[in-house]
Amino acid sequence: MQKKTAKRIALLCTFMLALSGCGNKQTDSQKPDVPAAETETPQPTEPVSEPTPNPGSENEPASEVRLSYEFSGDAAAKAGYAEGLLSLTSSETATYHLYWSNDDGALDGYYEITALDVEAGKTGEFSFGYHTAIPVDATKVIAVEESKNSEYPALSDAAAVFDLPADKQLSVSSSDALYTFNSFSDIHIDEEHFGETPAYWWEYSEAHFAQALDYAVNLGVDFIVSSGDQVTNASFDNLDKEWQAYQLILAQSDYVNPIYESGGNHEVRQDGVVEEELQAFMIGSGLDSSMDTLSAGKPYYSITEPNTGDLFIFMALEAGYRPAQYDEFTDEQLDWVENLLQENYGSGKNIYIIQHGLINKYGPGDDLETPYYGGSINPELESAQRFISLLEEYKDIVWISGHSHETFSLGYNYTNNNGASCNMIHNPSIGNPTFVTDGAIDYTFHEDLSQGYYVQTFETAIIFSGANICDQKIYPAYSYIMDGKTSLAEQETESPYLYPDVDVTDATLRSVLANVNTVLGLYYEYSSYDQYQTLKKYYYQYKDADTASMSQEDLLTAYSQLRLSIAYLHQIVEFNNGSEYEVVFPDPPVEEEVSERESELLLRIHYHREDGNYEPWSMWLWGSGDGTDNPFTGEDEFGVYLEYIVDTSTTEVGFIVRTENWEKDIVDDQFISVGSVTSDALDVYIESGVEGYEVR
């Protein structure tokens, strides 16, 4: 924790409330270290003196509750900075719960600031630390007496109110954020793989990751950044299972926006196979999802936030599991980081570095004098010294770390080394935050505790709000503010590509949606790739839509978005499989006017291969419902064939010729138009390796 000495600005607001007559009691002030609403193990508080009872009488004057807020530190006069002392004095003995509040009552999604046990005639106090934040939607602090307390008390329930001065409130609301994201770390998916085997270390990691994704959905964040240790890497033989579990949890969630990961020490935990582990990280995470980055074969990359142009630099530990022993950053990686900083620093944009490993006795994440965590980066190593020099040269950037898991309440969350370095903020852990017991890290599992940040970016401020993911609530004492330097970038409006000359019906769109649902299940291992998330986002946008009521333009837009997103996903899948695939913008054939059939259609599909080897091949078919596997059932002069019944409402039958392992004859999904067929049967002929079909 950092301490600042500066002028103190005293501000006082008193709210008078008539209470029933009670005796006066004397007590010393107390300063809680941990807000009472937290689910963590309480930390010790200063002792309270024994009260002196006074029975009082019915004629005793009405009691008084006074709440004041004295801002302090270098930022005492700056909007949004909470550092300072809250003091509450009561003429009666009572417990008061303090909350950030707007004009209606306590802010939704926040824990209470603290609970103060105040003895009659004395004062209870709570201190906000260095660079802590006032929520952008807060206009007041309210104190609510125990008997009127609830999860989110109304303003009318308050025994005392402190109105925040206008110059301490940021002149924005949450809806004004230029973009938002979640900052997570140390997810630690373990080799248990949904209970198949006992967890190696992190008992609740899978459930906590699912909860973190749910929190991101409820917040509506634009993306997620993870500061490393997505997996545990308990054994190299099971590393693929851990990545698959990570991807499956992401695929099965309702989260549809990008997620970007940094490489931690657990990604390279097994000595001797570091290159293989780095490859698993690159393929498992997808990096920035571009083929150029994946082709480069480096585990570090950058992304540019599209609304503002803000830069996010994702570094990776490259040497192995023990940052205290190894130079984790190659010269090549550090040269790359330095070049990015030189090119972008001072351009009026925020720059973030996401780098997993905290540095021993430097920055956030652990005690600076007597560290509890023994696996931090050794600051004497050459690569560490060079990294530190970048943090101190480029003071306006933000470094986001993880690694030690140490819980928010320990207080090692934010520092800028009293202005000597950049803003540095530490993520505890999604998998399992840790406490300190008897001077050592305590790795006891906590089912109801998982911690990360909700980050709001405004033009002149960045707010990291520390939260318990399990409760989906923000800790007021562990939310931090730093100056921002960004603005909305000029946006180029591009019209979406639309397949020309296609009269898309609601049945056509439902057929495509059924196919997308199948594709998302088949390719769940790509769920951390932008291409997968984009397809999933469109699927969620349209899956419950009333397609029958959609206009022709909306149907065509949805159809085009889904079909192209499938193609882009196929492209990255084929790239990772070592094949080339080019996304083209075809001109599909014009569909004829649909006349609904009076009876079901018998669709007979004939298939021919030059090699005559039909045994592993079958057809995946779908109409207006989910896809199904259909084996070939007969032979003829052309090759083999199967029969498929099409209902009267289906206008298009999708098909894939494939093997059980999903090797495809043609990569793209293909469609047989049946909307204009009025007969009871249709024979189509498909040649292996040739797109399309013939009707004979």
pLDDT at 477: 98
Is the predicted pLDDT of residue 236 greater than 80, yes or no?
A: yes
Could you give the CA distance from residue 234 to residue 227 in angstroms, rounded to a whole number?
Answer: 19
Q: 614, 625 in Cβ contact below 8 A? A: no
Q: Six-digit token pair at 686? A: 């498909």
The residue behind tokens 């997505």 is 230
CA distances from 247 to 314, 399, 530 (A): 19, 26, 13
Cα 336 versus chain centre, distance? 26
**If you ran DSSP here, which 8-state letter would residue 592 be given?**
P
Asked if residue 2 belongs to a domain, the reply is no
In this structure, is residue 583 part of a structural domain?
A: no
State how far the Cα of 656 lies from the Cα of 643, in Å rounded to an integer.
Answer: 15
Q: Which residue has the higher pLDDT, 555 or 588?
A: 555
287 conformational bin, left if phi > 0, alpha if psi -120 to 50, beta if neither: left
pLDDT of residue 586: 54
Residue 46, pLDDT > 60, answer no
Q: Is residue 208's pLDDT more than 70? A: yes
* Helices (H), ranges, 132-234: 205-219
Long-range contacts of 162-165 (CB under 8 A, 24+ apart): 162/11, 162/13, 162/67, 162/68, 162/69, 162/86, 163/13, 163/139, 164/69, 164/134, 164/138, 164/139, 164/140, 165/11
Give 123 or 677, the one with higher predicted confidence: 123
* 661 phi, psi to nearest 5 deg: -90, 10
For residues 214 and 336, state if they share a domain. yes
Q: Are residues 161 and 183 in the same domain?
A: no
Query: φ, ψ for residue 368 (rounded to 5)?
Result: -80, -25
* 192 compared with 446, residue with greater pLDDT: 446
Domain-embedded: residue 581:
no
CA angle 322, 323, 329 (to 5 degrees): 125
Lowest mean pLDDT among 4-13, 392-401, 431-440: 4-13
Predicted local confidence at residue 412, as pLDDT:
97
Mean pLDDT (whole number) for 32-40: 37
Q: How far apart are CA 481 and CA 676, in angstroms?
A: 63
Token representation of residue 382: 């050459």
pLDDT at residue 27 tops 50:
no
Q: Distance (Å, rounded) from C-alpha 526 to C-alpha 399?
A: 28
pTM confidence score: 0.81
Mean pLDDT score across all residues of the chain: 87
Length, in residues, of the chain: 696
State phi, psi for 385 to the nearest 5 degrees.
-65, -40
Which residue would you say has higher pLDDT here, 16 or 306? 306
Q: Which residues, including other chains, have CB under 8 Å from residue 163's CB and lie 6 or more apart?
A: 13, 139, 140
Domain assignment present for 490: no
Q: What is the pLDDT of residue 195?
A: 57
Determine the Cα–Cα distance for residues 467 and 446; give it in Å rounded to an integer: 15
547 and 663 in a single domain? The answer is no
Same domain flag for 636 and 572: no
> Does residue 157 surpass a pLDDT of 60?
yes
Q: Which residues contact 608 (CB under 8 A, 6 or more apart)?
A: 638, 639, 685, 686, 687, 688
Q: Is the CB of residue 390 less than 8 Å from the CB of residue 336? A: no
Return the top range by mean pLDDT from 29-38, 610-619, 647-656, 669-678: 610-619
Indicate whether 500 belongs to any domain.
no
Nearest to 671 by CA among 575, 577, 582, 559: 559
Q: Which residue range is the domain that position 356 belongs to? A: 177-483
| Contacting residues for 474 by C-beta, under 8 A, at least 6 apart | 109, 110, 111, 135, 454, 465, 466, 467
CATH number where 377 lies: 3.60.21.10
> Which residue, chain included where needed, has tokens 């594709």?
519
- Looking at the structure, do residues 631 and 571 belong to the same domain, yes or no? no
On whether residue 34 sits in a domain, the answer given is yes
Strand segments, DSSP code E, in 592-674 are: 601-608, 617-622, 628-631, 634-635, 640-646, 652-659, 670-673
Residue 608: count other Cβ atoms within 10 Å of its Cβ: 17
Of 168, 203, 218, at which residue does a domain stop?
168
Whether residues 250 and 296 share a domain: the answer is yes
Burial class (CB in 10 A: 0-12, 13-18, 19+), 177: buried
The model's pLDDT over 388-426, given as tens digits with 9 standing for 90+, comes to 999 999 999 999 999 999 999 999 999 999 899 999 999
Do the domain assignments include residue 594? no
Q: How many CB atoms lie within 10 A of CB 662?
A: 11
Report how far apart, in Å, the C-alpha atoms of 201 and of each of 191, 358, 508 are. Answer: 9, 21, 48
The pLDDT value recorded for residue 499 is: 80
Per-residue confidence band for 677, with pLDDT thresholds at 50, 70 and 90: confident
pLDDT attached to residue 193:
61
Same domain, yes or no: 157 and 274: no
Q: Which residues pair with 653 in a beta bridge?
A: 672
From 119, 136, 168, give the residue that closes a domain: 168
Helices 552-576 and 506-522, packing angle to 10 deg: 20
Average pLDDT (508-533) is: 93
Give per-residue pLDDT as tens, 539-587. Answer: 999 999 999 999 999 999 999 999 999 999 999 999 998 877 666 655 5
What's residue 196's pLDDT?
65
Task: Choose one of 428, 451, 483: the last residue of a domain.
Answer: 483
Tokens of 480: 């931090």
Residues 6 or more apart in contact with residue 519 via CB below 8 angstroms: 535, 566, 569, 669
Mean local confidence (pLDDT), 165-186: 97
Q: Per the domain annotation, does 374 fall within a domain?
A: yes
Q: In whole angstroms, what is the distance from residue 152 CA to residue 159 CA?
A: 14
Considering only residues 62 and 609, tell me which one the structure prediction assigns the higher pLDDT. 609
Characterise 500 by phi-psi region: left (phi > 0), alpha (psi -120 to 50), beta (else).
Answer: beta
Using DSSP, state whether 54 is helix, strand or coil: coil
Q: In what order do the strands lie in the sheet with 223-226?
A: 259-261, 223-226, 179-184, 451-457, 461-468, 473-483
105 and 32, same structural domain?
A: yes
Q: Mark whether 605 and 677 lie in a shared domain.
A: yes
- What kind and span of H or E run contains 477? strand 473-483
The token pair at 430 is: 């999604």
Q: What is the CA radius of gyration of the chain?
A: 30
Residue pair 113/141 in contact (Cβ under 8 Å)? The answer is yes
Quick one: how far is CA 276 from the chain centroid? 27
Q: Who has greater pLDDT, 396 or 30?
A: 396
Identity at 602, one-letter amino acid code? L
**Residue 270 and residue 159 in one domain:** no
210 shares a domain with 233? yes
SS3 (DSSP) at 531: helix
Q: At what angle do helices 552-576 and 530-542 cross, to 10 degrees?
A: 150
pLDDT at 83 over 60: yes
How far is the C-alpha of 351 from the C-alpha of 399, rounded, in Å? 9
Residues 443 and 566 in one domain: no
Q: Residue 6: name the closest of 85, 69, 75, 70 by CA.
A: 75
If one counts the domains in the chain, the total is 4
